[in-house]
Structure 1
Amino acid sequence: MTAIANLTGIAKRMGVARPIKRWIQANVETGFHSLSPDLLVAVVRALEEQTDFEGRAYYEFGVFRGYSLWFAEQISRGRTPKDFQFHGFDSFQGLPETRVDARFFGRGDLTAGYNRVRDNLTRFGADWSRIQLHKGFYSDPFFSELSSRVTFDPVSIAVIDVVVYESCVPVLNFLGPRLVPGSILVFDDFNDMGRSDLHGERRAFKEYTERTGLETEQIFELGFECVAFRVKTPPRLASPA
């Protein structure tokens, strides 16, 4: 209930109480909901913190049933340009096999099928002119092929909810060339697995910043696991393909 109370308070301050009402209806009456209420608070906080949306986009990795992606698109209406794009990435087959985090997670965990996600988004009024879903297990070749046929704008907000290390590494490689000063990165499971630098999103992000020179500042932490950063200096990388 703390997360819901926080969400409601922030939403009222932002003047977006109506989308919150739709959130409560979807969550309570239909079973379409997020496994991480703190992530919804984080999305609202990120939208509140971010001031630069023009020519940029929202990215979400690990959409599961599609709830937080739907929520972000709903609550951003009137705050972002009409052509602002929301990109959702998922295997729609659950987590991949993981060696680094095998003690905690296994292949196929957290599965929600593509058709189910599309049905959920459609049922609750998602604007498909602003949403794109991208299906596949994360890897450098997957993102390279996708980038050859889809235009991806610089990052305004990126939600990284991929849980395991092996997924987070290629996600950060993909995002890197699209990070600009002010981009906000929200890691839903940053402090999962005992806040260990040897596991998950936390390990991948630490290695990435050390390797590329990406400089960030932490802007908030929510619940037990969620942490958000704002980019100060983008990574030293070539332009995206």
Structure 2
Amino acid sequence: MTDVRGALREALLGEQPRTVNRGRMPVVERELARVVATGVPGAVVEFGCFRGGMTAWMRAVLDVQGSSDRVIHTYDALQGRPATEAHDGDHPATEASTARTADVRGLHDTWGLPQPVIHEGGFHRTLPDDLPERIAFGYVDADRYASTLACLRACVPRLSPGAVLVIDDYADASCPARPTSPGVLRACEEFFGAPAPVAVAATDAGWALGVYRHLDRTAPFH
């Protein structure tokens, strides 16, 4: 399997700088590689794919790790950001973030990467019924309180022991970034309890990211 990570990284940084950056990509690679190396069973899922930049990055990482048979399922309404609610910040819901299924598929074709399984539609339509039975790794980029909470409620009960969730826009008091999407933290605290068992992974003020490692499949979350 050809390793396209170097060229893909630079292309994505130029073409999709809002959804991937030099901070997020190595965290996702590190955690996904750890899941593969430790043999955690299950599929890879992504909530919020935009034009497929992180989807393609995860596919490239899986392939170079010798896990080309591991399927990626990605879920997105492909209609822009959801509307803000009381727990969310002031990022506009109508920001230019719409995409098409063809954008995701075209990116994978360009780089010779196996296609993901794309579940198009709002999370209220696709979750939990369209989720794989077992999940080894998830990337949550749901932007808002309600959508993040829906992802956690659907996904966490299906996580295998040792599975990992990487949560975009997660910023608690220890995060160097300003929490531009405070609903993400609020959703994590409501689901897991406060303080949430999510470790801040951001290293500078330009981005926010959290990592949750699943140890007990039967934990009584909400």
Q: TM-score range by the shorter chain?
A: 0.7 to 0.9
Aligned residue runs from structure 1 range 105-124, under 5 A: 105-107=92-94, 109-124=96-111
Kept after mapping to 2: 8 A contact 1:96/1:137: no
Once residues 121 and 162 of structure 2 are traced to their aligned partners in structure 1, the CA distance between those partners, rounded to angstroms, is 28
Match of 1:229 in 2: 212
Deviation of the 1:54 alpha carbon:
5.5
Aligned residue runs from structure 1 range 30-179, under 5 A: 31-35=14-18, 36-37=20-21, 38-50=23-35, 51-53=37-39, 55-100=41-86, 101=88, 103-107=90-94, 109-128=96-115, 131-139=116-124, 141-147=125-131, 152-179=132-159
Residue 53 to residue 200, structure 1, CA distance change in 2 (3 Å): farther
Deviation of the 1:189 alpha carbon:
0.7
Aligned-residue Cα RMSD (Å) equals: 3.1
Structure 2 runs not aligned, ≥5 long? none
- Equivalent residue of 1:146, what SS? coil
Residue 83 to residue 153, structure 1, CA distance change in 2 (3 Å): farther
Match of 2:190 in 1: 207
Structure 1 runs not aligned, ≥5 long? 1-15
Q: Which amino acid aligns with 1:163?
A: D
Percent identity, please. 22
Once residues 39 and 17 of structure 1 are traced to their aligned partners in structure 2, the CA distance between those partners, rounded to angstroms, is 23
Which structure carries more helix by proportion? Answer: 1
Q: Which amino acid aligns with 2:32?
A: L
Kept after mapping to 2: 8 A contact 1:162/1:168: yes
Once residues 110 and 206 of structure 1 are traced to their aligned partners in structure 2, the CA distance between those partners, rounded to angstroms, is 27
Q: Which amino acid aligns with 2:26?
A: V
TM-score norm. by structure 1 comes to 0.74
